[in-house]
Amino acid sequence: MEFKAQSIADFLGGTVEGDANATVTDVAKIEEGKPGTLAFLSNPKYFKYLYETNASIVIVNQDMELEAQVKATLIRVPDAYKAFASLLELYQQAKGSKTGIENPSFIDPTAQVGNDVYVGAFAYLGKNVRIGNHVKIYPQVYIGDNTTIADDTVLFPGVKIYENTKIGQACIIHAGAVIGADGFGFAPTEDGTYKKIPQVGNVILEDWVEIGANTTIDCATMGSTIVRKGTKIDNLVQIAHNVEIGENTVMASQTGIAGSTKVGSNCMFGGQVGVAGHITIGDHVNLGAMSGVSNSIKSNKTVLGAPAMDIARAAKVFAIYRNLPQLREQVIEMGKQLAQIKTKLEE
């Protein structure tokens, strides 16, 4: 597909600065831009590349001031990052998408499949499965019995959906994710072994949820593990049984949430955050990377560290931690001086 600068500007509500007829057929990072590609610039760290790039069109913030002449045609918009994201979505749609049912695949006779659905080869749809319109089910996806998937949801290759799962509209589940596996429930016995506790609940993903590759979300022991609408979860995240995650919360890779914990709305979790079970995280809570959370946190807090603590206190603790080698040497030196003073006093 070919796009002109003026057409892009009209779509974004921006203004063209340069050749309105400049055309692009692909996208690129600004430092790797080539003729015929579209790039964007919003991070000041990359400003220098604006004067070096060979990209034909660059999207920039409306208030950006130029320091030298630019070869590329510019499109000025209020927010270059958001504008470029909108264009990438349009670009992806323009490439087209698959429809139809490939063979070999298995769809149980009791399953219901909507309109314009794609089912890839070796996919399995179990009994009483309900698939909405425009759903994309890529090869080797397993969908267990009694699962419901609403319109416009995409399941990438190798996704495994256990029985009784409910998935909302316009969700994206990336390759290798497992939704609805048993929660980690075992009761110790008198002889030192463990007896498995049956996990009879399910998982509910509300609308516009995105789940990263190889992430696992366990079914509830009873009731439901719930991920509320608009939440985005990165790759390699573990969500345990009976966890509830509020709306529009984001979690970076390798985060782990233990069982029955409640996470509020609009939270942000950095990478490798660990959260203990049976606690509550309020709304608008930010957890720094590698935070270890063992107690409940009230809303509108930013914490980090292990154990996690308020950011102001954590900054003081980390400052002391960085100075520990120097403090150790000072303590050793003070010990030597005290020993000398003691020796003199005893003489």
Closest-CA residue to 33 (of 82, 84, 68): 84
Active site residue 284: no
Structure-block tokens of residue 224? 């439901």
Structure-block tokens of residue 25? 């057929």
> Would you tell me how many other CB atoms lie within 10 Å of the CB of residue 262?
17
Return the residue matching tokens 């000398």.
340
The whole-angstrom separation of Cα 282 and Cα 285 is: 6
Q: Are strands 37-41 and 130-131 parallel, antiparallel or unpaired?
A: unpaired
> Would you tell me how many other CB atoms lie within 10 Å of the CB of residue 255?
24
The whole-angstrom separation of Cα 176 and Cα 155 is: 10
Candidate list 174, 241, 278, 284, residue with the active-site label:
241
SS3 call for 163: coil
Per-residue b or e along 98-136, where b marks 16 or more CB atoms closer than 10 Å to that residue's CB: eeeeeeebebeeebebeeebbbbebbbbbeebbbbebbb
DSSP-assigned beta bridge partners for residue 161: 143, 179
Closest-CA residue to 212 (of 244, 237, 249): 237
Closest-CA residue to 1 (of 92, 80, 99): 92
Structure-block tokens of residue 74? 């510019």
Q: Cα 179 to the chain's mean position, in Å?
A: 16
Cα 329 to Cα 316, 333, 338, distances in angstroms: 20, 6, 14
The whole-angstrom separation of Cα 154 and Cα 284 is: 28
**Residues marked as catalytic:** 241
